[in-house]
Every structure is written in structure tokens, then in C-alpha cells.
Structure 1
């Protein structure tokens, strides 16, 4: 493993035992710590004090810088009508008592609103978001039926609004654990009813999911999508759900006019990064419905995915499938 000249961390103020708390993230910080020649901490007086694998003793620190800045906030993205409809579709797949993994965005915020009538939900998620906070606040999620860490929310990092940072501050029911734990397949699989909900940018008619790029143009990283999708399917009664809006608007390269494009495609564009292989794709959901691809042949997969594509593109998708695959 590499060594580092200097590790810089943001921490909350020291307690009476000489311990700092990492400020909102336990991803890799403590695992990197032993390989750093020098450790500098920013002691942020307004940073949340969190619980879990997050403790750093003053004896491990070489230099301290004090600040009174607020943590960087991420305002929740307001959902539109497509997000709300997609949220309703996905909510039908989430059972009472399931342990869920959530991300960010308008669809996830809409989903949280649709899950408020559920009971006994648990949260084991890479990212603690405003959506997860709302589920805990309204009582839909209470972690009472979790197989692991019953009564506790487990996450790797917290990112969201100032209200979210206030919510996790000094909250012993929210545990921040290292990424190597939260995304470990055996840990995910040990959560009965684990339900992983992730987003894709494009999906082809065999079920390949491109969640990082559109063609060669990089949009984001893979994050924990593969880990949580596979781990959830290994769990008893577990599910992996890939969500995407059926269309997006893009400029026509010839006319310069914006045109509606389908996110479900006959084949992924050249240069696209396949984040989730078709053999690991379980449920796919758009605002037009959800389909389960497990155990289906390629023609059956294509038929299922066409049924949840935007109606304007369904005939084209069927024609292209037969032309390309000769089936």
C-alpha cells in the first residue's frame, strides 16, 4: 500500500478524553492514517460529532488548525412530476421491514416521500442523505427489524443540508463505518431484505447499465453501485433496483435543436462504461413501471425493457432489437 507525506482531515472539537471525531465521513480516513508520515487536522467548531469508527486521538496528530466554518452543504434536489412517478414505482418494490440503501437526487427524494407509510424500514447505506433523514424523522425507518446493528443506521459518510448535519450531530443511533465494511458483500448479504436503489444514465436492451458515462463522456464514478447491487441480491429476500428516467433532452448534432432521447437503448453508445453487467441487473424501473430481468432470455429482457421505455421510442427499440440481434 502507498505511503503519504501528509494526511489532512476535518474533525469535530476534542472531547475530555483527548479524542476527535471525524467530521461526517469514515470512508477510508482511519485506514489511511497509519500510512501517513504527518497528520494535520482542521478542528471545525461547527462540524458534527459523529459515532462509529471515527475516533482520532490527539496523540496521533502532528498539527492542528482551528476553524469555525460550516460543513459544505448540499441542498436537496426538488423532485419534479417524473421523479414523483418514478418514486411511486420504486416504492412498490420496497417491503415493510426491508433494509434500504439510498443515494441522492430528485428521484430519491421523491421515493422517500412515497415510503413514509412503510413500517420497520432499516437503513444501511453508503451515503447518509436528507432522504434517509426524512424516513427516520417520520418513523417509516426505525431500524427495528435489521439483521445487523438493530436500532442503528449504518452509513459511510454524511452529505446534505445543514439540517442533516444537525440531525447526525451527537446522534448515537447513526453509525459511520469504513467503506470496506459498509460495502462489503458479506455484510450487505447479512441484512435480510436488503434493497439497494441506484441510478443509471442509460440501459441497453440486454440489461447492461451505464451509470458513469454517456458514451466516452464521463459524468460520475461508479461509487458503491456494484457492491450494493450484488450484495443486496445475495441477501435473503434482497433486491437491487436500478432507476432511470425514460428520456433526457440533448442537442441534435446536425440542427443544434434539443431533442428527446431515450435512456433505454438498443445498444450502449461507443465508449460507454458498463457499470453493472447484465448478469448483475435485477430490477430496472422508469416512470412507466418496473421489470425484473433475473432469469430472462435476451429477447425476454428486451421485451420487458421496451415495455417501460417512453412510448415514443418503443416501436424504434423493437425494430432495432430485431435488426441488431436477428431475433
Structure 2
């Protein structure tokens, strides 16, 4: 490993080849000083592409598309501006498939930029804020450049990096992104009220991103012996740990340990996870594997959507031509919860948009992210639609019942051809 003195000594043009694909950590794990330097030097490199997940940093801008082809798993966060500008090339892929795609070369990975913690006494660098697909990327890449940030927590992870994994390193002292838990709106709280009864003492939970999961965590402080196996953790996790609700004592494996792929929070979360043996960062092949999820009794997954049709098809990706999200891990956890003994999966969303349009629709305006055959519970502020094992006619009636009252008559009219086709 060659240690660089400062960011000014890093010459990407000497390390990258035209046509290379550069990959880096998603959410709060982006090595922002490295990616900023990369964009500053892009014209000296020539045409290349980057592969990114959900992002919170602003280092990629639409004007960078003059030399950079941008591949992405998700159009959320700061990727949304890139999608709106039409420069984001989406890769529709279940998150559980990403590691294998990198290892086999289906998703190219030539240069990896990774943010890590300083090494421990054994010389191991923690991936800090994300396990995800970074280990697979490091093993596949021709060049690995590490931003060793003294502010990154040393979080236990399945396979920490060593000097042998890193070609170039640079020590920095740079503030980490802070993503506070969403302030729960009255709407979020109403939805959470309907969802909370489905989470019993001893359940294992997966939380998605958004106001509803954060509001729901506020309502679980009286639970006991909860477990966590999730793609990401937010500050709401800290509250549940501190009040004693999370112990992980009933999980058949990882007993006593909360397992996650990504940390997406503030300094509270980072401090809790620092050198904490009760938390572990794991790769996607572990966090999102439906076979492993099926072995967790009473697994409850909580995710959201942009819209859901009357038969239960879920769209979490785009509204018309506007890409707003991604496939993510929703389908992985929905399917895993369905296979879990006593497991339930929840798709939670408000019944209408801020502009008054129904989010319960007769026909989706975008792609099907999660098939209706996998969907279990759909929850809005108006109640719960239990879809698993129910006929199309029963589903349509249940979905109309949880739609906004102002939209139900129109949905009933739109549903008539559907019920006729289903033999109702």
C-alpha cells in the first residue's frame, strides 16, 4: 500500500484508463474528498463511467456527464437531480444480486474508492458505514484507493480490509454525512399506528427508509427482545437499543447481534456502533439472502412505495418518465418474510400524494418492483389490506377500503373491468 500525503498528490489520470468503471460506497459511505477530486480531474482522464447506489453527497453533478457515464442502482437522495437531468442510467437489479454481478464481471469494476476507519491494533480497517457490495468490489478491482477518515467509526464487519487489499491510501479528517431521522408527520404516525400491532415481542425487524419506519420505531419502545436484520439502520435504532427493546436474543443465529448492511444516520448512530460487538456490518449476500431470511422466525419487513395498484402490484421506482427510486432490497425482504415462520411484510404509504392524487391506483404508471404474488400487508392511514392468499376480487375491495375516501368512487369505477376479467 502506498500512502499519499494529501489529496493534491492524487493524480487519477495516472491510475485510470479511458473506459474504466469507478465504484464507491453508497449512502453515507461515499469517500467525498476522493470523488470530488475525481470529478475535478475528469477531463484529463477521458471518457469513463461510475457505478453508484443511493447517495447523500453532491459530488456528482449533471454537468459531469460531459465525460462521465453514470450508472446507478437508485435515483433517491442526491441522485434525484441527476435523474431529473436525464444523465442517470438506471440498472434495475435486486440488491441481493449486486455482489454476484460484480464478482462475475456482469457489473464492471476497475477502480474502487473506499472510505474506511483507521486500522485497529491488528491492522484491520473497518468499512465503517457500509458492508454492502464493497468487499466484492475491492476483490474485483484493478486499483483500490482508500480514504482513511479518522472520523469513521470502527464497526465490526464480516471481512475488514487490510493493507494487502489497498493500493493507495490517504488519511483525512473529514466530517461524516449526518442524516437525522425524519420528523414523524401526523400521517406517518397514523400509518405507524396500524403497523405496530403486527410487530410482537421477539420479532426480528427490517426497516426501510422514510418517515413511516422512523415513526414506527417510536412506537416499539415498549417491545421486548426484538431482533434486527436489516439492509440499513438509522438513528431510530439507537432509541430502541437504549430503551432495551432490541436484544437479538431470539434469533437462531447472530444471537445478541444486530446485523445491517449500511449505517444511515447521525453521530449518535456512529458512536453507538463504534467498536460495538452487538452490531455487525455484513455484505448483501448475507443481509438480503432470502434463504437466510427465511430462517429468521417472525421476521417483519417494513418498506414503502410510490404507488400500488388494486391487485397489489408495487411500484417503488418511477412515476411515468420520472425515476424517483430503485428496485433496492424490497422484494428480497418481502420474499424472505413470506418464507419466515410467522413472518409478515408491510408496504406502508400515504393514500394520496401532496398534490391530492391517489397512490392506490387502478393501473401503475411505472414498473412493477414487487409482484402482487409476494405482497402481504398494505397499510395506509386508513387501515390495513391483507392481500396474501386472497383472490383478485378480495384484494380490490381491500385496497379500495384503504384508499383516500375522496378517491374510492373513482377506483370502484376503474375496478369494474378488473373484477369482470377476474370472474367476480
Paired residue secondary structure (2:125): strand
Q: Which residue of 2 aligns with 1:262?
A: 358
Q: Distance in 2 between matches of 1:115 and 1:159?
A: 20
For the Cα contact (< 8 Å) 1:102–1:132, is it kept in 2? no
Q: Among residues 162, 165, 186, which one is paired with 1:57 in the alignment?
A: 162
1:209 is the counterpart of 2:314: yes
The 8 Å contact of residues 205 and 266 in structure 1, kept in 2 or not, is answered as: yes
- 1:324: Cα distance to partner? 4.8
1:282, CA displacement in angstroms?
A: 0.6
Deviation at 1:325, TM superposition (A): 4.2
SS of 2:276 mapped into structure 1: coil
The residue aligned with 1:256 is none
Q: Is the 1:241–1:284 contact (alpha carbons within 8 Å) kept by the matching residues of 2? A: yes
Match of 2:194 among 89, 97, 103: 89
Q: Is the 8 A contact 2:349 2:380 kept in 1?
A: yes
Whether the aligned pair in 1 keeps the contact of 2:233 and 2:264 (CA below 8 Å) is yes
Q: What's the counterpart of residue 257 of structure 1?
A: none
**In structure 2, C-alpha distance between the alignment counterparts of 1:68 and 1:204, rounded to whole Å:** 48
Deviation at 1:118, TM superposition (A): 1.2
Kindly indicate which of the two structures has a greater share of residues assigned to strand.
Answer: 1
Q: CA deviation at 1:213?
A: 1.2
Structure 2 equivalent of residue 191 of structure 1: 296
Q: CA shift at 1:323, angstroms?
A: 4.2
User: Please, which moves more after superposition, 230-239 or 57-66?
Assistant: 57-66
Question: Corresponding residue for 1:45?
Answer: 150
RMSD over equivalenced CA pairs, Å? 1.3
**Residue 247 (1) aligns with residue 352 (2):** yes
> Which of 252, 256, 265 is 1:160 aligned to?
265
Separation (CA, whole Å) in 1 of partners of 2:164 and 2:392: 59
Residues 103 and 198, structure 1, Cα contact 8 Å, conserved in 2? yes
Map 1:1-327 onto structure 2 (within 5 A). 1-2=104-105, 4-250=109-355, 260-269=356-365, 272-326=366-420, 327=424
Task: Please report how far the alpha carbon of residue 12 of structure 1 lies from its aligned counterpart in structure 2 after TM superposition.
Answer: 0.5
Q: Secondary structure at the match of 2:277?
A: coil
Deviations for 1:269-321, whole angstroms, at most 9, x for unmatched residues? 2xx11101110111100111112111211111000111111111112211211
- Secondary structure of 2:175's match? coil
The DSSP-based 3-state class of the residue aligned with 1:55 is: coil
Offset at residue 132 of structure 1 (A): 2.0
Cα distance in 1 for residues equivalent to 2:134 and 2:416: 50
Native 8 Å contact 2:209 2:303 kept in 1: no
State the distance in 1 between where 2:236 and 2:136 align: 28
* Paired residue secondary structure (2:126): strand
Q: Give the secondary structure class of the aligned counterpart of 1:22.
A: coil
> Unaligned stretches of 5+ in structure 1?
251-259
Structure-1-length-normalised TM-score: 0.93
Relative to the length of structure 2, the TM-score reads 0.72
Q: 1:70 & 1:133 partners in 2: Cα distance?
A: 20
Q: Distance in 2 between matches of 1:126 and 1:142?
A: 18
